[in-house]
Structure 1
């Protein structure tokens, strides 16, 4: 799945401008170009990046996933 910059900014809790700055500085994974003026981030790469960060919050398991 490919994410727009708005989706990435929401997941990283950053503004779109801060996402671009982090990308330019090499602090987040680079996006892929999908058109002449369009870029997208791969969801799997972004999730791996988020999980690798110190203090990363793991998603809460759904009730159906929890064994009693």
Structure 2
């Protein structure tokens, strides 16, 4: 993306979800869990992230944990012989 014209570029939920290859709902869940930097709320409902915040987060190794182990009963060990 070319953000060179905007002095303080921002990302919407839709743009960030495309960038991270997840759904917008997943982005909202990640915000609630604290997995990604907090957005700014604009107009009560709209969420915006500064590009610099997301870039810094990803560069520092803050890639979102998308494949967490789910809680529940362990799988049976063993298998077909």
Number of residue equivalences:
55
Mapped partners of 1:3, 1:27: distance in 2: 16
Higher helix share: 1
CA-to-aligned-CA distance 1:5-61 (integer Å, 9 cap, x gap): 011111111111111111100010010011122111111000111111278xxxxxx
With normalisation by structure 2, the TM-score equals 0.61
1:51 aligns with 2:51: no
With normalisation by structure 1, the TM-score equals 0.71
> Which of 11, 17, 32 matches 1:24?
32
Higher-Rg member (1/2): 2
Q: How does 1:2-41 map to 2 (within 5 A)?
A: 2-41=10-49
Unaligned runs of 5+ in 1: 56-68
Q: After the TM superposition, which segments of 4 or more aligned residues of structure 1 sit over 4 Å from their partners?
A: none
